[in-house]
C-alpha cells in the first residue's frame, strides 16, 4: 500500500518528512513527494523514482519551507507510476496525500471539471484535493468533512493548507496513526515511520477527522463534527517488528491483509443493481460474445489461480478454458477467437511474458491480471485487471493469490453477463455473496490459533498430502506448494479422485492429509480411503456439516458460502497451516532458500 507521513511542530518539516518517508521504503513504492508550507504558500516536490533522489533536489534548493508538511510514497493503483501521478496533489493553497480508492471519482471528476477545476493526473486521489478546495472558506476541518462526506470508497488522507493553523487527516478503511511527540504531532500510515520520533501513538478509527496543531494539541471529531475521546498507546516494538506491523514475518502480515486486499480488488467494480461488473477488458460486449475460448497462461501460484478459472469461467460464461504453465505454452494451436489471459502478480515473470508475446503472432485478444501497475505485462495486452493488493514482500505469494482469485470471480461474471450466459439476477446473487468474502476471510483468520496447534502437531511430518475436488483441486495444489516452499516439507497436491491411481501407495500413518472439504460430498470417500491406510486427515469443512466429523480426524470449520468462494477460505486455511509449520521449524519464512520474488529469467 502507499505510505503517508505528516508533521507539524517546532522543527523544519522537510528533513523530518524525508526521514519518515525513507522509513516506509521497505514497503515498496514507485514515486514520492512532499508538500511543505513555505512563506505563506505550499511548495510541492514530487517525482517518480527514489526518495533519496528527491531529497537531494530538496537539499539543493536550500531546504525550503517551515514547520508544517505532508509526504507520500505511491504504489500505483490508478494511473501509471509517473511524476504527474505522484502525490501530493495541490488545488490552490491546499495539498493532500491519499491512500485508498475513491470509487465515485469519475462522477466527482465530472462535477469538479464543470466547476472549473483542472485535472493534471490520471489518479482518483486528485479529486479529493479539488473537492476540499471547493469547500474551503477558511475552516479546513469543515472543508475536509464536507469533501469526504461526498466520497465513496476508502481513504487515509492528510491535508495541509497555506492559510490553516492546523493539519487535518481523516480515515476510512485505510490505516492511519497519529504520533504524539514532546511538542510536535506526527501522522503516518505505518507506525514504523514514527518510532525514532515518538512511541506514543493514537490509532485513528474509521469516520474520524483529526486536527493537529503545532504543539501537543490534537482534536478528534466524528463526521458530524462532535469531538471524540481517544486513547494513547505506547509502542515497544523495535524498528524491524514495526515494519512488519508487529507480526513476526511479512508473510503473516500479508495473510492478515487479505480482507482489506479483497475489498480493494472489488472497490468500484461491482454493480449489484445491474448484477454486473466494470472491468477494463479492452473489448466490446460484441467481441466478448464472439469469443470461443479462453487460454490462461501463468506460473507457480498464479497458475493455480488460472486453474480455478478453468472450473469457473465455463460455468459462469459458457466458454471453454485451457490453462497452461507458461513455460510449456504451445501458442501454435491458438485459434483467432481465443482470449489469452496472462496471470502474474509481478507482471514481470519471463516465461509468462514470452508466452504472451508469442501469442500475439496468432492475432488473438490478450488480457492480464496483475498486481503491479505499469509492469511489463500491461504493455503486452489489450486490457488489464489490477488486483490492487498492495506490495507483497514475503516471497511466497499469499494476498496476491487471493486477489487473483477475486479478479477471476469478477472476470467470470463480466464475461457471463456480456455473453448473456448469466441473467442480471444470477449476476446479482453472485455479487452479493462475493461482497461478503472479506468478512468471511476475517473469520478464518480468527481461527489462527486452532490452525497453529494443528500445524505444530504435524510439523515433524516427512510428507504432506493436500487433496481437493472441483474448485478446490487448485487449492490443494496451492496448499502443497506453500508447504514445500516455506516449510521445506515434500508435499503432494492431488485431485481427490486421483489418489487411487497411484499416490495411495505413499499414504501411511505418518502422512498427514489435508482435505479441502467445502465443495461436494465425494471428497468424503477420498478421506475414508486415506483414513483406512492409517493417515490422519485435517479437513477444512463448512460449519455445521453433519458428516465430516465422522470421517476426518481434525475438522477446521469455515463459514458457509458458495462452494466456489469457499476456495478463498480454504486458501487462507492452508496458508496459515504452512506458515505455522515453517514457524515451528524455525525457517526463514519471508525468504525461503533458492527462491526469488520475481523470476525474470526463462
Residues known to be catalytic: 2, 597
Task: Quote the least distance from Cβ 478 to ligand F6R, whole Å.
Answer: 8
Contact between residue 434 and residue 270 where contact means Cβ atoms under 8 Å apart:
yes
Q: Does 599 bind ligand F6R (CB under 6 A)?
A: yes
CA distances from 78 to 72, 75, 113, 520 (A): 15, 9, 19, 39
Q: Taking contact as CB under 6 A, which single stretch among the options 61-69, 89-97, 300-308, 539-547 is the one that binds ligand F6R?
A: 300-308
Give me 415's grid cell: 464475461
Q: Mark the segment that binds ligand F6R (CB under 6 A) among 48-56, 59-67, 342-350, 461-469.
A: 342-350
Q: Which of 31, 43, 161, 345 binds ligand F6R (CB under 6 A)?
A: 345
Please identify, using beta-carbon distances, which residue of 258 and 561 lies nearer to ligand F6R: 258
- Let me know: does 47 contact 101? Beta carbons within 8 Å: no
Residue 354 interacts with ligand F6R (CB under 6 A)? Answer: no
Residue 145 interacts with ligand F6R (CB under 6 A): yes or no: no
300 touches ligand F6R by CB under 6 A = yes
Residue 306 DSSP one-character state: H
Paired strand residues for 7: 69, 186
Shortest Å distance, C-beta 490 to ligand F6R = 16
In the sheet where 464-468 sits, what is the strand order? 491-495, 464-468, 513-517, 537-542, 554-558
Cis omega before residue 242 (within 30°)? no
301 binding ligand F6R? (CB under 6 A)? yes
Rounded Cα distance between 161 and 263, Å, is 31
Those residues whose C-beta lies under 8 Å from the C-beta of residue 579, and which sit 6 or more positions away, are: 249, 251, 252, 255, 455, 482, 486, 589
Q: Closest approach of Cβ 351 to ligand F6R, in Å?
A: 8
Minimum distance from residue 87 beta carbon to ligand F6R (Å):
26
Rounded Cα distance between 168 and 251, Å, is: 33
Q: If binding is defined by CB under 6 A, does position 574 make contact with ligand F6R? A: no
Nearest-CB residue to ligand F6R?
A: 300
Handedness of CA 116, 120, 123, 126 (dihedral sign): negative
Give 376 or 518: the residue with its C-beta nearer to ligand F6R.
Answer: 376
Q: Across-strand partners of 294?
A: 321, 339
Q: Which helix (H) or strand (E) holds 491?
A: strand 491-495
Answer for which of 396, 431, 455, 558 binds ligand F6R (CB under 6 A) is: 396
Q: Which of 349, 387, 491, 524 binds ligand F6R (CB under 6 A)?
A: 349
> Would the CA dihedral through 528, 532, 537, 543 be positive or negative?
positive
Residue 575 touching ligand F6R (CB under 6 A): no
Binds ligand F6R (CB under 6 A): choice among 85, 265, 302, 581: 302
Looking at 338-346, 461-469, 494-502, 505-513, which segment touches ligand F6R (CB under 6 A)? 338-346
> Judged by CB, which is closer to ligand F6R: 34, or 377?
377
Q: Is residue 307 a contact residue for ligand F6R (CB under 6 A)? A: no
Residue 469's alpha-carbon distances to 509, 516, 564, in angstroms, are 23, 8, 11
Nearer to ligand F6R, 504 or 599 (CB): 599
Residues contacting ligand F6R: total by CB under 6 A: 14
* Nearest residue (CB) to ligand F6R, 125 versus 345: 345
Minimum gap (Å) between residue 355 Cβ and ligand F6R: 11
Q: How far is the CB of 402 from ligand F6R (least distance, A)?
A: 12
Whole-angstrom distance, CA of residue 337 vs CA of residue 292: 5
Q: Decide whether 157 or 397 has the Cβ nearer to ligand F6R.
A: 397
Helices and strands in the chain, H and E counts: 19, 27
Our finding on whether 352 is near ligand F6R (CB under 6 A) is yes
Q: Least separation, in Å, of the C-beta of 346 and ligand F6R?
A: 3
Instruction: Name the residue with cell 526463462.
Output: 602
The set of residues, in sequence order, having a beta carbon less than 8 Å from that of 235 and lying 6+ positions away, is: 191, 195, 199, 200, 201, 242
Residue 397 in the binding site for ligand F6R (CB under 6 A): yes
User: Least Å distance between CB 516 and ligand F6R?
Assistant: 18
Nearest CA to 88 among 74, 105, 108? Answer: 74
Is residue 344 a contact residue for ligand F6R (CB under 6 A)? Answer: yes
Distance CA 410, CA 421 (A): 14
Q: Does 208 bind ligand F6R (CB under 6 A)?
A: no
Residue 486 beta carbon to ligand F6R: minimum distance, rounded to whole angstroms: 8
Q: Which is nearer to ligand F6R, 346 or 571 (CB)?
A: 346
- Please name which of 62, 87, 91 lies closest in space to residue 76, comparing C-alpha atoms: 87
Q: Residue holding cell 464536507?
A: 146
Q: Is 346 in the site for ligand F6R (CB under 6 A)?
A: yes
- Closest distance of CB 494 from ligand F6R, Å: 18
Q: Cβ 230 to ligand F6R, closest distance in Å? A: 40
Stretch of residues binding ligand F6R (CB under 6 A), selected from 7-15, 31-39, 91-99, 344-352: 344-352
Give min distance, CB of 25 to ligand F6R, in A.
21
**Does position 174 bind ligand F6R by CB under 6 A?**
no
Residue pair 372/400 in contact by the 8 Å Cβ criterion: no
**Residue 6 or 397 having the CB closest to ligand F6R:** 397
Q: β-strand 321-325 against 338-344: which pairing, if any?
A: unpaired
Q: Which three cell numbers stand for residue 563?
A: 462452494
Using CB under 6 A, which of 13, 101, 144, 299 touches ligand F6R?
299
Q: Should residue 243 be labelled a site residue for ligand F6R when binding is judged by CB under 6 A?
A: no
Select the span of 10-18, 89-97, 345-353, 493-501 touching ligand F6R (CB under 6 A).
Answer: 345-353
Question: Locate cell 485513528: which residue?
Answer: 204
d(CA 21, CA 12): 15
Residue closer to ligand F6R (CB basis): 301 or 518? 301
- Does the footprint of ligand F6R cover residue 254 (CB under 6 A)? no
Q: Which of 366, 364, 360, 408 is nearest to 387 (CA)?
A: 408
Residue 142 main-chain phi, psi, to 5 deg: -65, -40
Q: What angle do CA 408, 411, 414 make, to 5 degrees?
A: 155
Say whether residue 485 binds ligand F6R (CB under 6 A): yes
Q: Are 22 and 44 in contact (CB under 8 A)?
A: no
- The C-alpha cell of 602 is what? 526463462
Stretch that binds ligand F6R, among 24-32, 77-85, 341-349, 454-462 (CB under 6 A): 341-349
- Site of interaction with ligand F6R (CB under 6 A): 299-302, 344-346, 349, 352, 396-397, 485, 598-599
Amino acid at each position: 500500500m502507499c505510505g503517508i507521513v505528516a508533521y507539524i511542530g517546532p522543527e523544519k518539516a522537510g528533513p523530518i518528512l524525508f526521514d519518515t518517508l525513507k522509513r516506509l521504503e521497505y514497503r515498496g513504492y514507485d514515486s514520492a513527494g512532499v508538500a511543505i508550507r513555505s512563506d505563506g504558500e505550499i511548495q510541492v516536490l514530487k517525482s517518480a523514482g527514489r526518495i533519496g533522489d528527491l531529497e537531494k533536489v530538496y537539499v539543493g534548493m536550500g531546504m525550503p519551507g517551515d514547520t508544517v508538511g505532508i509526504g507520500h510514497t505511491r504504489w500505483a493503483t490508478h494511473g501509471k507510476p509517473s511524476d504527474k501521478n505522484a502525490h501530493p496533489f495541490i488545488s490552490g493553497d491546499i495539498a493532500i496525500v491519499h491512500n485508498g480508492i475513491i470509487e465515485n471519482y469519475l462522477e466527482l471528476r465530472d462535477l469538479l471539471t464543470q466547476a472549473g477545476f483542472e485535472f493534471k493526473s490520471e489518479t482518483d486521489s486528485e479529486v479529493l484535493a479539488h473537492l476540499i478546495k471547493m469547500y474551503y472558506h477558511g475552516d479546513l476541518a469543515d472543508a475536509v468533512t464536507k469533501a469526504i462526506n461526498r466520497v465513496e470508497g476508502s481513504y487515509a488522507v492528510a491535508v495541509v493548507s497555506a492559510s490553516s493553523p492546523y493539519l487535518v487527516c481523516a480515515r476510512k478503511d485505510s490505516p492511519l496513526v497519529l504520533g504524539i511527540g514532546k511538542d510536535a504531532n506526527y501522522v503516518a500510515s505505518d507506525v514504523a515511520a514514527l518510532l525514532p520520533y515518538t512511541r506514543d501513538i493514537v490509532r485513528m478509527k474509521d469516520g474520524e477527522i483529526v486536527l493537529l496543531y503545532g504543539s501537543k494539541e490534537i482534536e478528534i471529531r466524528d463526521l458530524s463534527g462532535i469531538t471524540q475521546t481517544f486513547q494513547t498507546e505506547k509502542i515497544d516494538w523495535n524498528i524491524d517488528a514495526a515494519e512488519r506491523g508487529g507480526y513476526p514475518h511479512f508473510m503473516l502480515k500479508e495473510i492478515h491483509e487479505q480482507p482489506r486486499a479483497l475489498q480493494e480488488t472489488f472497490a468500484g467494480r461491482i454493480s449489484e443493481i445491474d448484477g454486473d461488473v466494470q472491468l477494463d477488458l479492452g473489448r466490446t460486449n460484441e467481441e466478448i460474445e464472439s469469443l470461443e475460448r479462453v487460454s490462461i497462461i501463468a506460473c507457480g501460484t498464479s497458475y493455480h489461480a488460472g486453474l480455478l478459472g478453468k472450473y469457473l469461467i465455463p460455468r459462469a460464461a459458457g466458454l471453454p478454458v485451457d490453462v497452461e504453465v507458461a513455460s510449456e505454452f504451445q501458442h501454435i494451436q491458438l485459434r483467432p477467437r481465443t482470449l489469452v489471459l496472462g496471470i502474474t502478480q509481478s507482471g514481470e515473470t519471463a516465461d509468462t511474458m514470452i508466452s504472451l508475446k508469442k501469442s500475439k503472432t496468432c492475432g488473438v485478444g490478450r488480457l492480464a491480471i496483475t498486481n503491479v501497475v505499469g509492469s511489463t505485462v500491461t504493455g503486452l495486452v489489450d486490457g488489464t485487471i489490477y488486483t490492487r493488493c498492495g506490495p507483497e514482500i514475503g516471497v511466497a505469494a499469499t494476498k496476491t493469490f487471493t486477489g487473483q482469485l477475486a479478479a477471476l470471480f469478477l472476470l467470470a461474471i463480466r464475461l457471463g453477463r456480456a455473453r448473456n450466459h448469466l441473467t442480471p439476477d444470477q449476476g446479482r446473487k453472485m455479487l452479493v455473496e462475493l461482497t461478503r468474502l472479506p468478512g468471511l476471510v476475517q473469520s478464518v483468520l480468527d481461527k489462527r490459533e486452532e490452525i497453529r496447534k494443528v500445524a505444530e502437531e504435524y510439523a515433524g511430518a516427512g510428507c504432506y498430502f493436500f487433496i481437493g475436488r472441483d474448485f478446490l483441486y487448485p487449492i490443494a495444489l496451492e496448499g502443497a506448494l506453500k508447504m514445500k516452499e516455506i516449510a521445506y516439507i515434500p508435499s503432494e497436491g492431488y485431485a481427490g479422485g486421483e489418489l487411487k491411481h497411484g499416490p495411495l501407495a505413499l499414504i501411511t500413518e505418518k502422512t498427514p492429509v489435508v482435505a479441502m472439504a467445502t465443495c461436494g460430498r465425494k471428497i468424503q470417500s477420498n478421506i475414508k480411503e486415506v483414513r483406512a491406510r492409517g493417515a490422519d486427515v485435517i479437513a477444512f469443512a463448512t460449519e455445521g456439516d453433519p458428516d465430516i466429523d465422522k470421517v476426518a480426524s481434525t475438522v477446521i470449520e469455515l463459514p458457509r458460502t458458495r462452494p466456489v468462494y469457499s476456495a478463498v477460505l480454504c486458501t487462507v486455511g492452508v496458508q496459515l497451516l504452512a506458515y505455522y509449520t515453517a514457524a515451528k521449524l524455525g525457517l526463514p519464512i519471508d525468504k525461503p532458500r533458492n527462491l526469488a520474488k520475481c523470476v525474470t529469467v526463462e
